[in-house]
C-alpha cells in the first residue's frame, strides 16, 4: 500500500461511489460503519486515528454524522457530532441540524454486536491435559438419579481447601489437533452451573441450571462474573501468521458470517485478541484431461476472521465476512 500513489491507495481502500456521510443509528457497530466506507473494514483503527477529532472511536453515539474526508489523497473519517435529521423542501433533500448529545439515553457504539461475541466470551475452553487433570470433578449423584438436572445434587472431589460458592460444569470434548495430528488442547463443552451447599471431606453441590445432563466425571471450574463485552480493535498481526481451522463451536460444519471457530495457533505463536486473519480454502485438486495429470489449484480467499479469545496453542475467532462456506481444514493467514 505504501508504494502506491495517494489516489491509487485511496481507490484500494474506499468502496466505489460510497456516500460521503453516514448518520449513526442505534444497533450500528464500528465494524459495520467502517464496512460502509472501506473495502477492508479491519483497517479502521488507523483510519479513525489519523484525525484528532476521533481520539476514541469507541465513543461514537447514535445520531453522530461520520464523514469521509481526504488529506493529500488519503481517506480518513471525521465524527461531525450529533445532528438532527429533518425532511428537506424537496423529495430528495435531507437537512442536518446541530443537536445535543445525551449520554444518559444512548450508549457508545461497540466494535461488534454483543449478541455476536457475548455467547463465546467464556465458552468454550481449550485446556491442556495438565490443566484438565487439576480441575475438581463431579464424583457422583447424592440420590439415585441416572442423570442430574436442575435441583439435582452431587458429590464433588478435588475442590481444594477453600472451595468457592459457585462453579461452572464442563465436560471434556474432542481433542483439538493440528494438521499433523499433534495434540493441541481438549475442547470442553459447557454443561451447567452449580452452587456449593455443603463443605467438608466430600463437598455437596446443587445444580442451578444445565443445558446437558450432568454426569460423573464432569469438571468444575470456579465461576467468575462475566465482564462487560470488551472493545476489540481489529488489526493485522505484525508478523506472518499461518494456521488452520481445527473445530467449529457448534455442530454445523458449514460455517458462515458470525459463526465462531477454533484455529491451531494461539498465544505461543503471538496471537492476540483483535487480530484479523484472512481465511483461505484448501487448494482443490482436479484432473486435466488434456495433459492427463492431476493439478493442484490455488487457495482461494473465503473471508475474514477476528480473534476474540486465545489460549496457549488454540485461538477462537468469529467470522466477520464469508464469501463461501468455511470448513474445518481451511487455512488462515495474515491478510
Q: Which of 188, 176, 244 is nearest to 219 (CA)?
A: 188
The rounded distance, in Å, linking the Cα atoms of 95 and 28 is: 21
Sheet holding 21-23, edge to edge: 21-23, 64-71, 74-87, 94-98
* Percent of the chain's residues with pLDDT above 90: 33
- Of residues 43 and 34, more confidence is placed in 34
pLDDT at 314: 93
Confidence band for 103, pLDDT divided at 50, 70 and 90: very low
Summarize the confidence of residues 303-321 as an average pLDDT.
91
pLDDT at 122: 61
- Of residues 73 and 308, more confidence is placed in 308
Summarize the confidence of residues 16-22 as an average pLDDT.
87
Whole-number mean pLDDT of the chain? 80
Summarize the confidence of residues 212-238 as an average pLDDT.
82
* Residue 198, number of CB atoms within 10 A of its CB: 12
Most confident of 163-167, 254-258, 322-326: 163-167
- Of residues 321 and 91, more confidence is placed in 321
CB 60 within 8 A of CB 24: yes
pLDDT at 90: 42
Whole-angstrom CA distances from 149 to 140, 145, 204, 213, 275 are 13, 9, 15, 6, 39
CB 276 within 8 A of CB 236: yes
Q: Are strands 204-210 and 183-198 parallel, antiparallel or unpaired?
A: antiparallel
pLDDT at 79: 80
Tens-digit pLDDT profile for residues 249-282: 765 556 788 888 999 999 999 999 889 999 999 8
Q: Where are the domains of the chain?
A: 6-109, 126-222, 242-333
CB 282 within 8 A of CB 330: yes
pLDDT at 99: 47
Q: Which of 266, 275, 280 is nearest to 322 (CA)?
A: 280
The rounded distance, in Å, linking the Cα atoms of 64 and 289 is: 59
Tens-digit pLDDT profile for residues 120-159: 666 667 888 999 999 999 999 888 765 566 668 999 999 9
- Ranges 65-69, 94-98, 311-315: which has the least confidence: 94-98
- Of residues 252 and 119, more confidence is placed in 119
Torsion angle of the four alpha carbons 4, 10, 16, 21, in this order, in degrees rounded to the nearest 10: 180
Is pLDDT of 100 > 60? no
pTM over 0.85: no
CB 211 within 8 A of CB 190: yes
The owner of cell 465524527 is: 79
Q: What's the full length of the chain, in residues?
A: 335
The whole-angstrom distance between residue 13's C-alpha and the CA centroid of its chain comes to 23
pLDDT at 174: 87
pLDDT at 158: 94
pLDDT at 111: 73
Is pLDDT of 332 > 80? yes
Determine the straight-line distance between the first and last CA of the chain, rounded to whole angstroms: 13
pLDDT at 282: 86
Q: Which of 47, 50, 29 is nearest to 38 (CA)?
A: 47
| CATH dotted code for 242-333 | 2.40.10.410
pLDDT at 229: 57
Hey, is 151 helix, strand or coil?
coil
The rounded distance, in Å, linking the Cα atoms of 53 and 44 is: 15
pLDDT at 94: 47
Is pLDDT of 330 > 90? yes
pLDDT at 4: 47
**Angle at CA of residue 21, ends 16 and 25, nearest 5°:** 115
**What is the 8-class DSSP label of residue 37?**
H
Amino acid at each position: 500500500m505504501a508504494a502506491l500513489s495517494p489516489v491509487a491507495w485511496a481507490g484500494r481502500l474506499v468502496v466505489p461511489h460510497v456516500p460521503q456521510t453516514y448518520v449513526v443509528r442505534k444497533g450500528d457497530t464500528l465494524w459495520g460503519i467502517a464496512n460502509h466506507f472501506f473495502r477492508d473494514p479491519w483497517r479502521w483503527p488507523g483510519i479513525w486515528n489519523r484525525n484528532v477529532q476521533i481520539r476514541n472511536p469507541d465513543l461514537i453515539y447514535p445520531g453522530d454524522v461520520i464523514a469521509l474526508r481526504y488529506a493529500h489523497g488519503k481517506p480518513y473519517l471525521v465524527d461531525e457530532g450529533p445532528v438532527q435529521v429533518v425532511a428537506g423542501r424537496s423529495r430528495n433533500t435531507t437537512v442536518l441540524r446541530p443537536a445535543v448529545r445525551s449520554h444518559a439515553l444512548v450508549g457508545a457504539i461497540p466494535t461488534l454486536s454483543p449478541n455476536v461475541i457475548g455467547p463465546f466470551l467464556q465458552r468454550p475452553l481449550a485446556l491442556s491435559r495438565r490443566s484438565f487433570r487439576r480441575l475438581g470433578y463431579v464424583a457422583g449423584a447424592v440420590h439415585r438419579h441416572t442423570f442430574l438436572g436442575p435441583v439435582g445434587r452431587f458429590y464433588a472431589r478435588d475442590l481444594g481447601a477453600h472451595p468457592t460458592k459457585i462453579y461452572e460444569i464442563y465436560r471434556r470434548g474432542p481433542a483439538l489437533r493440528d494438521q499433523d495430528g499433534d495434540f493441541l488442547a481438549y475442547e470442553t463443552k459447557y454443561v451447567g452451573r452449580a452452587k456449593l451447599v455443603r463443605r467438608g471431606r466430600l463437598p455437596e453441590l446443587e445444580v442451578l441450571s444445565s443445558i446437558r445432563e450432568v454426569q460423573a466425571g464432569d469438571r468444575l471450574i470456579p465461576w467468575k462474573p462475566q465482564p462487560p463485552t470488551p472493545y476489540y480493535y481489529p488489526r493485522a498481526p505484525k508478523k506472518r501468521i499461518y494456521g488452520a481451522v481445527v473445530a467449529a463451536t457448534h455442530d454445523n460444519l458449514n460455517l458462515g458470517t458470525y459463526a465462531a471457530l477454533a484455529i491451531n495457533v494461539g498465544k505461543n505463536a503471538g496471537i492476540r485478541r483483535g487480530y484479523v486473519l484472512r481465511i483461505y480454502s484448501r487448494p482443490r485438486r482436479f484432473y486435466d484431461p488434456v495433459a492427463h495429470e492431476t493439478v493442484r489449484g490455488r487457495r482461494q480467499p473465503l473471508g475474514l476472521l477476528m480473534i476474540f479469545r486465545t489460549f496457549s496453542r488454540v485461538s477462537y475467532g468469529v467470522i466477520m465476512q464469508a464469501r463461501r462456506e468455511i470448513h474445518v481444514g481451511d487455512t488462515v493467514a495474515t491478510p
